[in-house]
């Protein structure tokens, strides 16, 4: 998989790709992540990337031309499954979308800033719009990093034990059950006895029940459909 990220602030995107599972996936060539600085695609002397909105109002709007130049160049080099705009008014990210996108070959992520991008970018280049939640970030970079992390760990072969992604929260519309590790007794706080019983079917059943109870208590909406 290849992910091209178009951004005004590539420095905001560095560390999420330099540690842990995501770093390993990049080193193992399961995914290639390439940053494109929009300022490199500006045409004006002052490297202008934004301008005042037509019709007036507060804030600046990201101009179409540098974005067009960057996306057009990328599209000439390969074909893309999706050109995604990270925006708080997009479709809300969930595990189903991450699963779907983890199977794609090439995607572009466009990170917005200021008031956002000229609507014509959304109308003519963007194929999908994704929000990571009902709150507004200063720009799309952190949202893009969150989205990338959620899909990269799902790329086949990235997690050592494939089943560990399958047992994540949300993978089956259930929250994950509680987990414990040694010591079995810490200051008198004991691990549920069943987990040290060695009875695997009983442990599996207990985990299912716990997952269901947790979901019912904390996220009953997940059980509705």
Q: Examine residue 87 and tell whether it contacts ligand ADE (CB under 6 A).
A: yes
Query: What is the smallest separation between the CB atom of 130 and ligand ADE, expressed in angstroms?
Result: 6
- Which region among 31-39, 130-138, 172-180, 214-222 touches ligand ADE (by CB under 6 A)? 130-138
Contact 5, 138 (CB under 8 A): no
Phi, psi (deg, nearest 5) at residue 201: -60, -40
Pick 113 or 207: Cβ nearer ligand ADE:
113
Which tokens sit at 196? 């040290």
Site string for ligand ADE, 141-160 (x = CB under 6 A): --x-----------------
Q: Examine residue 136 and tell whether it contacts ligand ADE (CB under 6 A).
A: yes
* Cβ-Cβ contacts under 8 Å for 105 (sequence gap 6 or more): 1, 2, 81
Query: What is the smallest separation between the CB atom of 172 and ligand ADE, expressed in angstroms?
Result: 25
- Omega before 183 within 30 of 0, i.e. cis: yes
Name the β-bridge partners of 190.
Answer: 185
SS3 150: helix
Q: Examine residue 109 and tell whether it contacts ligand ADE (CB under 6 A).
A: no
Query: What is the smallest separation between the CB atom of 40 and ligand ADE, expressed in angstroms?
Result: 22
Pick 71 or 141: Cβ nearer ligand ADE:
141
Query: What is the smallest separation between the CB atom of 84 and ligand ADE, expressed in angstroms?
Result: 10
Taking CA atoms, 164 is separated from 148, 158, 161, 167, 221, in Å, by 18, 11, 6, 5, 24
Query: What is the smallest separation between the CB atom of 7 and ligand ADE, expressed in angstroms?
Result: 12
Of 120, 222, 114, nearest to 171 by C-alpha is 222
For ligand ADE, the binding residues (CB under 6 A) are 86-88, 112, 131-133, 135-137, 140, 143
């Amino acid at each position: 998989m290849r992910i091209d990220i178009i951004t005004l602030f590539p420095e905001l995107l560095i560390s999420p790709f330099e540690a842990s599972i995501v770093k390993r996936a990049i080193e193992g060539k399961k995914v290639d992540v390439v940053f494109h600085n929009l300022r490199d695609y500006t045409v004006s002397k002052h490297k202008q990337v934004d301008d005042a909105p037509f019709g007036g109002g507060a804030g600046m709007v990201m101009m179409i031309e540098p974005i067009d130049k960057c996306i057009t160049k990328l599209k000439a080099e390969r074909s893309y499954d999706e050109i995604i705009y990270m925006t708080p008014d997009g479709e809300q990210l969930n595990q189903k979308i991450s699963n779907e996108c983890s199977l794609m070959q090439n995607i572009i992520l466009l990170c917005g800033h200021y008031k956002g991008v000229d609507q014509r970018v959304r109308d003519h280049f963007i194929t999908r719009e994704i929000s990571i939640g009902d709150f507004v970030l200063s720009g799309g970079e952190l949202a893009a990093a969150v989205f990338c992390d959620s899909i990269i760990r799902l790329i086949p072969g990235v997690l050592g034990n494939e089943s560990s992604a399958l047992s994540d929260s949300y993978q089956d519309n259930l929250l994950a059950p509680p987990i414990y590790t040694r010591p079995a007794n810490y200051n008198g706080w004991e691990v549920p006895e069943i987990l040290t019983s060695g009875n695997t079917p009983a442990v599996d059943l207990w985990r299912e029940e716990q997952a269901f109870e947790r979901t019912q208590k904390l996220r009953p909406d997940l059980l509705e459909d």
